[in-house]
Structures are given as C-alpha cells and as structure tokens.
Structure 1
Amino acid sequence: MKIAQKNKILETCLIAGRIMIESGSEMYRVEDTMNRIAYNAGIQKSLVFTTPTGLFIGIENQPYVQLGPVIVRTINLEKVENVNTVSRQFANKEITLDQLMMRLESIDHHTPYFPFWMQIFSAAIVSAALMIVFSGKYTWENCIPAALAGALGYYILSEVNKRTNVRFIGEFLGSFAIGVTAYLLYRWHIGNNLDDIIIGAVMPLVPGVAITNSIRDLLAGHLLSGMVRGVEAILSAFAIGTGVALIFRFII
C-alpha cells in the first residue's frame, strides 16, 4: 500500500472520529468506528487514542501517525448515527474510500438541524413536563410559568454560546434569567410555587448527556475521558446552581 493511500485512510478515520466526538459520542464508540474504517480499508492493525480535546491514530510498527484537535463539543446524535451508517456502508463495500470521505465531509457541514424556534418551543415543553414529574404534583397552574422561564433560559444559553467561547457562562446567565423570570411570574401570581417553577425550567440546561457519557466511558475503561467529561458536567451543574442561588440570596 502506497504512503498516500495510508495517509488518506488515517485522515478519513480522523474526520469520522472528530465528528463523533464533537457530536457527543462515547469514546469507545469513536475508537471502534475508527478502527473498523481502518481495517476495512486494508490496515490490519491501527492504534487509536482519543480524548475529549484531540485524537490520534497510527499504524502498528509503521511510522504513520496523524492527530487532530477537537475544538467544539455539542450534542448532535444525528451526526453520530450518520457516521455509523456510512461506516457500515464502507464495511459492506457499498462505497469506496473516496466516497466515504466525501460523505463524512457532507455530514460534518451539511447535516440539517432543528430550527431555533423549534428548539425554544421544545425547551418550553420539556420544562413544563418535567416540572410535573419532579414536583410530584399535578399543579397545572405552574406549567405556563415553568415553560416561559425554561424557554427564556434556553434562549439566553444558546445566544451566549454563539457569541463567546468562554465555557459555562451561558449556563450561568441562562439559569440566572430563569431565576429572575420565575420570581417575577410568581410575584405576579402566575404560578403558586416558585421552587417547582425553577426546578422545571432549569432541566433543559442540565448536562444529562455529558453525565451519561462520562459514566459510560468510565465503565468502558476510558478513565481519562470519563473524568474529563465528568468534571465538565459538574462545572456546568455548578454554573447552573450558582445562577439560581444568586436569586435566592440577593432578590428573594
């Protein structure tokens, strides 16, 4: 196998792995996909090392190694599924290596996402529904304020994250806005339980996928990735809690 072909295989594996990490996939799934792509492309033994901020791939006993950074980490499980799909197609010889690379580039840049208004609406529905679940009461009068506060908090979180690369600021400002909104609605007698409103409204901000992936990585033996993601989830939860706590400390 020529050097250019080997480099192309490694580059394709890096693209697939980077997309999956950026989209919220577990590390063991990323490594398995990269190894399978390399094996089906003709590399009998590939060496893969992944972290939440970068990934490496090489060929055993050969001086061929490539690495790639992971800049952005979000949740987009549709991209993860699409990468798995094209990986299976490549394994079944339905597409060539060049076609696989082209499809991975298309997945990376052209995967459709839900419109922003639909995300806000979904955050409102989730806030109202989980308010009932966590409060344990069918207090329907708190659904509307929980939905309004949750939608506003998610809107601020999304807008702040678009405009700054500083982590956890969006969670803090979003939860602070939720606390202020919930308090004002409660004072205006729109809702009768401030705690239930806030509990429901902050749920769209909670890093549930990050916590789940952290535990799954730890159980799979990826201790570094598991701890890093766990700390990241804890800091997000701390930012959310701090934003709400300021309302109780200085306003209520």
Structure 2
Amino acid sequence: MKKLKDRDLIAKTCILAGKIMLESGAETYRVEDTMDRIAAAFGLGDAQSYATPTGLHFAAESAAIPGFIRISKRTTDLHKIAKVNHISRAISAGQLEVGNAYQKLLDLRNDTQKFPSWLQIVAAGVASGCFAIMYGGAWQDFLPAIFTGGAGFTTMLTIDRFFGIRFFAEFAASLIIGLLAVFFVYIHFGIVLEKIIIGAVMPLVPGLPITNAVRDLMAGHLIAGVSKGVESLLTACAIGAGIAAVLAWL
C-alpha cells in the first residue's frame, strides 16, 4: 500500500495530465483514458475520472486532493496532447517515477511557446488561397483569397485577444472577409466572389471541434459530444451571419 502522500501526488499527476489535454482540445474519452492509465500504472486503485469540456472530476482511494477542476479556456494545441500521451506511455512502461512525471507535466503546462501571430496569419492566408483554388476558383482569385483570409484571421485574433468572446471575434472576422471579397471583385482584382469567400473562411471553420464532437458521441460521451457540437454550431452561425450581413447589404 502506497503512502498517503504518494497517493495524493499520483492523483495530482492524473488531474494535471487531464487538465492539459482538455485545455489543448483533446477528446474527453481520451482524457479519461489517459488519467485512468496513469493511475493504474502507479498502482492507484479504484480510480474514477469524468471529463467534460468545462470541468474535470477525479476520485481515487484515500486521495485527499480536490476532485474537481474547472476548465475556463480551451484552445487547439496538438503538440501538448501528443506530449501528454508520450509521458503517459512512459509511465505505463515503468520509465518514469511519479515525481518526475508530475514535474514533466508542470513544465509542459507552463510552456507557453506557440507559433507567433504573424506566422499564424501568413499560414491562414496561404491556406485561404489554396482552398479557393481547390474549390474551383480561378488563379486570379488566389491572391485576393490570401489577402482576405489573412485580414479575417488577423481580425479574429485581435478581437479574441482583447475581448475574449470567440463568437464576436469570428463574426467580425467573417464580416471583414465578406467586405474585402466584395471590394476585390468590384475593382477586378478577383473574379469569383463566392470562391474567394469560401477560401478565406476555411481557417475559421471549427474542423477539429466538430471531429471531436462526433468521436465523443460515438464513444458514448453524450454530454461532451453535444456541448462541443453546439459550440461548433455557434461558430458556424457566427461565420455565416457575418458573410450574410455583407451579401444582404449588396
């Protein structure tokens, strides 16, 4: 039987791993599975974990730590998810002690290194141009889609950073995209309006949340699946409303 201090540290390790994964956009069933595997690998018996997009519950035998953590902000960081999975596999293989595992997870949680905003904007712009061509646009629509997509993504990042309301950020971004697309076609810089718009909004489309919602529903996590589906639907509505507002003005 492990000492109480060890059991508490194991439980804290499980909760920290789950918290990092939830905040990075992982599926809830994957979060629960990772937490259960870490607890089992360290010999913590009767471990029970329950994850939702906004909260994390964990309980185990004689673990005196708090069993609930609120998740207030989520993003998409596949690198952190992969790193937690790597740490979990090392724990299962007996290559990490609980203290070392907890420290590695702490370092990963505190790692705020991300791609700089300018690089994200450039990538969004290039992706927008490629999507415009892929969906049947003319080559003359490539550059307008790049500029439109980059401007829309810049708007989304700026408003989300200062106000923290993703719905309004995505609505404003799609509004800018619609206005720029109409302007570029009006001055004959672009040709096909709808292809420019389609390409430019693709970096805003919630592809990963939709995929995670379906996977959670298929895994039986109904609450998480429905909530993520609704969140994705709100994003789609924000994008559609911004474009519709511009087209209705024409």
Q: Hey, what does 1:69 align to over in structure 2?
A: 70
Alignment of 1:113-192 (within 5 A): 113-134=114-135, 136-137=136-137, 139-192=138-191
* Contact 1:121–1:151, Cα closer than 8 Å, also in 2: yes
* Contact 1:79–1:111, Cα closer than 8 Å, also in 2: no
Task: Using the TM superposition, give the Cα deviation of residue 167 of structure 1 relative to its aligned residue in structure 2, in angstroms.
Answer: 3.2
Q: Hey, what does 1:41 align to over in structure 2?
A: 42
Q: d(CA) in 2 for partners of 1:13 and 1:185?
A: 52
Aligned to 2:99, what secondary structure does the other structure show?
helix
Alignment of 1:1-252 (within 5 A): 1-59=2-60, 64=64, 66-110=67-111, 112-134=113-135, 136-137=136-137, 139-250=138-249, 252=250
Deviations 1:71-116 (A, max 9, x none): 1111000000000111111222222111111111111121532122
Task: Using the TM superposition, give the Cα deviation of residue 63 of structure 1 relative to its aligned residue in structure 2, in angstroms.
Answer: 6.9
Q: d(CA) in 2 for partners of 1:3 and 1:94?
A: 22
Deviations 1:198-238 (A, max 9, x none): 01100000000000000000001000000000000000000
Q: d(CA) in 1 for partners of 2:37 and 2:134?
A: 42
Q: d(CA) in 2 for partners of 1:177 and 1:8?
A: 49
- RMSD across aligned positions (CA): 1.4
Normalising by the residue count of structure 1, what TM-score does the alignment of the two structures yield? 0.94
Alignment CA distance shift 1:9-1:63 (3 Å): closer
* Contact 2:57–2:68, Cα closer than 8 Å, also in 1: yes
Normalising by the residue count of structure 2, what TM-score does the alignment of the two structures yield? 0.95
Aligned to 1:184, what secondary structure does the other structure show?
helix
* Contact 1:150–1:178, Cα closer than 8 Å, also in 2: yes
Deviations 1:112-152 (A, max 9, x none): 32122111111011101111222x34x10001001100011
Runs of 4+ in 1 over 4 A off after TM superposition: 62-65
Tell me the percent identity.
39
Q: d(CA) in 1 for partners of 2:179 and 2:129?
A: 17
Q: d(CA) in 1 for partners of 2:204 and 2:63?
A: 45
Deviations 1:141-196 (A, max 9, x none): 00100110001111111111111222311110111111111111111111111111
What is the number of equivalent residue pairs in this alignment? 248
Deviations 1:2-54 (A, max 9, x none): 32222221111111101101111111110110001111111132101110000
Structure 1 unaligned runs (5+)? none
Q: d(CA) in 1 for partners of 2:76 and 2:177?
A: 22
Q: d(CA) in 2 for partners of 1:45 and 1:97?
A: 18
